[in-house]
Amino acid sequence: MAGIPTEAIPKQNTMPTPSKNSTLAPKIGGFSSVCEALDYAARGETGYNFFNLRGEATAVLPYREVRDQAKALARKMAGRFERGARLAVIAETSPDFIVTFYACQYAGLVPAPMPMPVNLGGKDGYINQIRQMIAGARAAGAIGPETLREFLDQAAAEAGGADVFTFDELKTLPDSDEEPVPFGADDHCYIQYSSGSTSAPKGVIGAQRSVCANMTAIARDGMYLAPGDRASSWLPLYHDMGLIGFVLTPMSGQVAVDFLATSDFVRRPLLWLRILTDQKATITYSPSFGYELAAKRSARAEPGTIDLSTIRVAGIGGDMVRPEALNAFADAFESFGFKRNAFTPSYGMAEATLAISFPVLGTPVTVDEVDMRHYTRSGIAQPASAVTSPEHKRGFVLCGRALPGHEIEVRDESGAAVGERAVGRIFIKGPSLTPGYFSDPEASAAMYDGEWLDTGDMGYVLDGQIVITGRAKDLIIINGRNIWPQDIEWAVEKVDGVRGGGVAAFSVDDGGSERIVVVAERRGLDSEALANLKREVSTVVQNAVGAPAEIVLARPHSMVMTSSGKLSRAKVRQKYLDGAFDDVAAASASARQLAEARV
């Protein structure tokens, strides 16, 4: 750089894009492909903005620049990969990932977004996870940041030898001799793998038609996007809620988006709210635990630094909606301008692109208090009464009605539709549904009953709205009684000495019957305190669900989390079955013996 005057060095624009286009007429959805939507958004001034751990805008990409950079990169990618090839792409929260994703659309290539690692201590597990995804997608290439090159090299080699490129290396490829042909309405859009996958992960196909149908439904009929709206998100971009909800849908409505990396949110939850404040965002989304985490840090919020009065949609999705978490957030930030009626509990899944149902915006969250004793005996979500004891009450949140053009049906074990308050398996149909799982015709066929898709979720209908009670595969059945793991986990989390969000409950088949296992991450305690804690947790479980359980007190930081910061119940269960907690159980037994010896 010596000898070059500093005024000759171009400076990157880090002034966030405006919230409203000055001349472009708004068009809310109705596009036939992602490329068509981006071509239209590129005619305006709005776009994507990326913020760092200090809350500073470090990169600004108007949709025009996204389109131009993506088309330029598409010419290079089309010269290296055959049309229709799959590319596994690390979905870091960066301009590089977003431009590469759109470049795939313009080049006729199918991106398969992969997660960032949760932490470096899980290197082997992470490499195995992305290896499975690369192999599952039969990817011709694996692409990511330079910092993960070593991981990609190893995973790709073990997956069969996909070509590895860093984002920067991709930009140095020569241009194709022919102009690439963008994906159209009849093509695929992406393949999405779940972070919770353990073995042989299923890749959900996002087709252009289903993706565009869902973008339109969310933008027009779910959130009522309008000029001046502004979205803000910390959600991981490999996940449908981050990718569809905050990359594609806002773009299809020409709405500006502000991004914070998921890892930065976990480190500084209040930074999410600061960015919302500074940019006057109107729309954001989070699983329940995100609101809960921010509420726990609310005491650190300095007066005048947070103003949430512009938020009209504070969506909840991605996990079970917890009324307690929403109340905690509202209580903490109502004085900072947050309106409780902004909460928007919705229901969705990757197999439906993203969203299935939305409530009426601006209406209070409705919580249905259910008598769980009656439910476990009858399968009916009977309302709790004045004589129902607190430990047998459970609040379920109503998640709205099906989006226009879509339908929701609850069925019993025989496949017959059931009436209101009868808990059953949830089926859905509509234009947003996936055509199936990539290269897995058996699983794709098993997912469908005619036009209806089996979600694998359990729930009931109340006043025309869907209520989610849990995943069918997570349901614990003891002596003919249905027990939801969430009931156990949420009760145990309240025990002093147990880390909030660090409890996993599941069942283990002993060959003749099922038994309940509860793994709880405890704080640093001495041996006598651990023994007392184990007895207390056991008592809480017995009172909550009326059944005994094996209690494992796990050491701090020993639980398995997803890349979005949620505990993975399936992976904790597998860790238990692998014997990874045996040393913890032995230590706990020694602590109990020591405590009993002192009596």
Beta bridge partner(s), residue 394: 370
Of 458, 474, 490, which residue is a domain's last?
Answer: 474
- CATH number for position 549: 3.30.300.30
Query: What is the full DSSP assignment across 208-271?
Result: HHHHHHHHHIIIIIIS---TT-EEEE-S-TTSHHHHIIIIIHHHHTT-EEEEE-HHHHHH-HHH
Q: Is residue 35 part of a domain?
A: yes
Asked whether residue 444 falls in the same domain as residue 505, the answer is no
- Mean pLDDT, contiguous 10-residue spans, the chain (599 residues): 38 82 95 98 98 96 98 98 98 98 98 84 82 95 97 96 96 95 98 65 95 98 97 96 97 98 94 98 95 94 92 91 93 97 96 97 96 89 93 92 98 96 97 96 95 96 96 80 84 89 86 82 81 92 87 88 71 87 52 38
Q: What is the dihedral of CA 219, 220, 223, 226, to 10 degrees?
A: 90
Sequence letter at residue 105: Q
Residue matched to tokens 């992976």: 571
Contact partners, residue 297, CB within 8 Å, separation at least 6 = 269, 270
Q: Is residue 166 part of a domain?
A: yes
Q: Is residue 282 part of a domain?
A: no
Asked whether residue 234 falls in the same domain as residue 104, the answer is yes
Asked whether residue 461 falls in the same domain as residue 480, the answer is no
Asked whether residue 488 falls in the same domain as residue 576, the answer is yes
Q: Is residue 190 part of a domain?
A: yes
pLDDT of residue 585: 47
Number of domains in the chain: 3
Helices within 261-371 (DSSP H only): 262-267, 269-279, 288-296, 323-333
pTM of the predicted model, to two decimals?
0.86
Helix (H, G, I), strand (E, B) or coil at 430: coil
Asked whether residue 447 falls in the same domain as residue 511, the answer is no
Structure tokens at 230: 């502004």
Q: Is residue 298 part of a domain?
A: no
H or E segment to which residue 407 belongs: strand 407-411
Compute CA distances 250 → 28, 147, 228, 243, 558, whole Å.
Answer: 9, 29, 12, 10, 37
Asked whether residue 184 falls in the same domain as residue 59, the answer is yes
Of 455, 474, 493, which residue is a domain's last?
Answer: 474
- CATH number for position 369: 2.30.38.10
Compute CA distances 378 → 302, 332, 420, 480, 514, whole Å.
Answer: 50, 38, 14, 10, 20
Asked whether residue 484 falls in the same domain as residue 461, the answer is no
Asked whether residue 89 falls in the same domain as residue 232, the answer is yes
Of 474, 490, 516, which residue is a domain's last?
Answer: 474
**Cβ distance 262 to 563 under 8 Å?**
yes
Structure tokens at 243: 């990718």
Structure tokens at 203: 């890749």
**Cβ distance 281 to 310 under 8 Å?**
yes
Contact partners, residue 472, CB within 8 Å, separation at least 6 = 425, 456, 457, 458
**Residue 456: count of CB within 10 angstroms of its CB:** 14
Beginning with the edge strand found earlier in the chain, give each strand of the sheet holding 141-144 in spatial order: 110-114, 86-90, 141-144, 163-166
**How deeply is 451 buried, as exposed, middle or buried, from its count of CB atoms within 10 A (0-12, 13-18, 19+)?**
exposed
pLDDT of residue 319: 78
- Pairwise CA distance, residues 296 & 153, whole Å: 40
Q: Is residue 163 part of a domain?
A: yes
Contact partners, residue 8, CB within 8 Å, separation at least 6 = none
- Pairwise CA distance, residues 581 & 518, whole Å: 12
Q: Is residue 337 part of a domain?
A: no
**How deeply is 380 buried, as exposed, middle or buried, from its count of CB atoms within 10 A (0-12, 13-18, 19+)?**
middle
**Cβ distance 295 to 327 under 8 Å?**
no
- CATH number for position 91: 3.40.50.12780
Q: Is residue 531 part of a domain?
A: yes
Asked whether residue 235 falls in the same domain as residue 381, the answer is no
Helix (H, G, I), strand (E, B) or coil at 64: helix
pLDDT of residue 10: 40
**Cβ distance 193 to 201 under 8 Å?**
yes
Asked whether residue 206 falls in the same domain as residue 242, the answer is yes
Asked whether residue 569 falls in the same domain as residue 444, the answer is no
pLDDT of residue 492: 93
Angle, to 10 degrees, between the axis of helix 63-78 and the axis of helix 34-41? 140
Q: Domain of residue 401: give its range.
A: 346-474
Asked whether residue 255 falls in the same domain as residue 389, the answer is no
